Structure 1
């Protein structure tokens, strides 16, 4: 998809804004940046500036986003503005692993604090949660004892937010029986994987991960890893897969792809692992450090783009073949917990 500045300017104001919002929603940040900077920042309305800043954030250019958000007149600085602006600073803090006392961290916390207050007044619970997610993104660098003194209301809201997240994770029990007959009758591997998806813990240590998978066959564990791999790479590429908690399943995904005879995908993932030295830490913080070191190499993203395309082009069938050939390995009869 492409759009010229001339095409954009031929639209009405309402059409311009909706078009840019739609492009942001489908991840076309480069088009947005090219068009809106072509129009000129001084010629953009406050809503369009907000969408441009959002595009810069989503395109991993928080410094550019900050410049845009600063250009928005104070009377338009609502809860959404505070969230997006805070996200810019949060991205910088998280990428650089900056200390609590850093200027960027303090800017982020102040913006989140104000954003939560405004979102509460505006009745925007979704924006309120987004603001708190920015704080959560920088959790490893935050001195919570100091933060409670500096931002007491914010920390109280954050504690409630964490408690609610924990409650949602605890969820509600679901009884399920998956038979050989059901497995043979479906091509929906996500349905077959559902008990493992909700049960296997990818958010703690690797020991936690293995312990939570004990109630499943190793083949079910591999299927779950492959499902996570597809979901993350198709959403944000291999970089997102390793950056997020899902990176903990990389080895099971690789072994599973090989076992399921998905050799092209297995070779593709193996080449990514080899690029990072032949192994990737299961610990998320250690993966962040590696990714940050490699992100300074311009060729990294060119390399990953090629590897991402291999997954994007996969039309899905080999995992179905293996599961249908060995249905007895994927049966389930028990209870698992589904988040609310």
Structure 2
């Protein structure tokens, strides 16, 4: 897909904005950046400036996004502006593993604080949640005891957001029957893994995890672990996998990859575990303590391990599932979020 500056300028103001929004929604940031910078920042309306900053953020160029956001007059800095600018500073702080006291972290918190206030006033609950997600992104470097002293109202609202997320996990019952025939007929492993995904608890202790998986076969548990592993590493690398609650499944993911004959990926994950001494804590806070000490050398190592997954062209989990469908049948009830 492409768009010239002349094509863009031939559109009405409303059409220009909608076109850019649509391009942002489908991940065409490079086109947006090329067109809007070609038009000239000084010639852009406030909404288009906002979309340009959004495109820079989504294209991993937060420093450029900040320059654009600063070009928007104070009177137009609404909840969305605060969220997007907070994301820029938070992204820099997270990527560079900056301390709580760093300028970017403090800018992020001040912007989130104002953003939440404005979103509440504007009735934008979606923007409030986006602001809290920026805090989630920077959680590894957050000093929450200090943050609660500096931003008591913000932290109280954030704690309510976290509690609400936990409550949503309780969900409503859904009955499902997955037969051998269905398993053999589909290549969509999500449909086979769905009961495990919503039932197996990765957010508590390791004992909670094992207890929640008791109604499933070991192979179903492994499939769920592999699914989490793929989802997290493909989204944010091994760092995200271990940083998030998903790190609790690392041992099952490794065993599953080995059992499912996905040896290239099993060897790759094993090398990551070996790098950290042959084991990684199941407890998330203990993993955080390790993550805080990671330096550029560790991230360079993990980048190479991420690439193995991204470039993998071997056996996939559905091969084993199709060969042993009787191990993945299901007939029961599980809960999904409301």
Q: TM-score, normalised by structure 1?
A: 0.79
The CA deviation at 1:122 is 1.3
Listed as ranges, the matches of 1:129-144 within 5 Å are 129-144=129-144
Secondary structure, counterpart of 1:105 in structure 2: helix
Q: Is the 8 A contact 2:265 2:308 kept in 1?
A: no
Secondary structure, counterpart of 2:335 in structure 1: strand
Residue 308 of structure 1, aligned match among 289, 303, 310: 310
Q: Distance in 1 between matches of 2:13 and 2:77?
A: 20
Provide the residue aligned with 1:112 in structure 2.
112
Provide the residue aligned with 1:336 in structure 2.
334
Q: Distance in 1 between matches of 2:9 and 2:307?
A: 32
Q: Which segment is superposed worse, 3-12 or 124-133?
A: 3-12
Distance 1:146 1:189, change over 3 A: closer
Provide the residue aligned with 2:201 in structure 1.
201
Secondary structure, counterpart of 2:101 in structure 1: coil
Q: Distance in 1 between matches of 2:243 and 2:144?
A: 24
Query: Does 2:17 align with 1:14?
Result: no
User: Any idea what the Cα deviations from partners look like across 1:138-183, whole Å, max 9, x if unmatched?
Assistant: 2343333433333232222212212211111222344444344543
Q: Which segment is superposed worse, 123-132 or 183-192?
A: 183-192
Q: Distance in 2 between matches of 1:242 and 1:11?
A: 47
Provide the residue aligned with 1:65 in structure 2.
65
Query: Does 2:224 align with 1:221?
Result: no
Q: Distance in 1 between matches of 2:193 and 2:147?
A: 41
Q: Is the 8 A contact 1:220 1:330 kept in 2?
A: yes
Which stretches in structure 1 are left out of the alignment for 5+ residues?
none
Query: Does 2:150 align with 1:147?
Result: no
User: Any idea what the Cα deviations from partners look like across 1:172-219, whole Å, max 9, x if unmatched?
Assistant: 344444344543455443222111111223445666545543432221
Listed as ranges, the matches of 1:1-340 within 5 Å are 1-184=1-184, 186-203=186-203, 209-210=209-210, 212-232=212-232, 244-246=244-246, 249=249, 252-253=252-253, 255-261=255-261, 263=262, 266-267=263-264, 270=267, 281=280, 285=288, 293=296, 308=310, 310=312, 319-340=317-338
Distance 1:330 1:207, change over 3 A: same
Q: Distance in 1 between matches of 2:239 and 2:19?
A: 28
Q: Distance in 2 between matches of 1:55 and 1:325?
A: 44
The CA deviation at 1:332 is 2.9
Q: Distance in 1 between matches of 2:311 and 2:178?
A: 33
Q: Is the 8 A contact 1:53 1:64 kept in 2?
A: yes
Distance 1:174 1:183, change over 3 A: same
The CA deviation at 1:258 is 5.0
Q: Distance in 1 between matches of 2:28 and 2:245?
A: 25
Secondary structure, counterpart of 1:170 in structure 2: coil
Secondary structure, counterpart of 1:337 in structure 2: strand
Q: Is the 8 A contact 2:233 2:306 kept in 1?
A: no
